Amino acid sequence: MAVFHGLRLVSLAVLMLVSQLDSASAAVRVFGLHAKGLNGDVILNKPDPYVKVWCGSSSGEQTEHINHNANPTWSAEFNFPNCKSGDSLKLEVWDKDIAFDDHLGTCGRPVQYGSLTVTCYLDKGTLFYSYEAK
Ligand SMILES: [Ca+2]
Ligand SMILES: [Ca+2]
């Protein structure tokens, strides 16, 4: 019984060590943002889209807006040094307008380790993005 207890303590210590290593090397890079079929207006007019990105508790970042384009590619890349696996990666797509920008949709899902390319179906179009989490 004592041996069993000892083993459990060891595995607990290993788990704690792993989670510490984990947060020490946490970092998420978001890139390859592009979209298709975005629709920002009732009248037939192309939107002027941009994307806001949040990862974990990090403060949000934002791409440049692209004028008059339903199928934009954004060149911006974002680094979130404190974001880690399991944290939520959230992206919102907006159409820039003169007065009130239109919200075209939101993507939110937990970060997974490795490199991933995600397709996200919005209310008004489709967003694609890649990220790398280590
Ligand atoms: Ca609009
Ligand atoms: Ca607009």
What's residue 41's pLDDT?
76
Q: What is the pTM of this model?
A: 0.79
Distance 61 CA to ligand 1 centre (A): 21
Between CA 81 and CA 58 the distance in angstroms is: 9
Distance 4 CA to ligand 2 centre (A): 65
What is the number of the ligand closest to the CA of 42?
A: 1
What is the number of the ligand closest to the CA of 50?
A: 2
For strand 102-110 and strand 88-95, is the pairing parallel, antiparallel, or unpaired?
Answer: antiparallel
Q: What ranges do the domains of the chain cover?
A: 28-133
Digit-coded pLDDT (tens) for 42-90 = 766 899 999 999 999 988 999 999 999 999 999 999 999 999 999 999 9
CATH superfamily of 28-133: C2 domain (2.60.40.150)
Distance 47 CA to ligand 1 centre (A): 6
| Closest C-alpha among 22, 47, 9 to residue 113 | 22
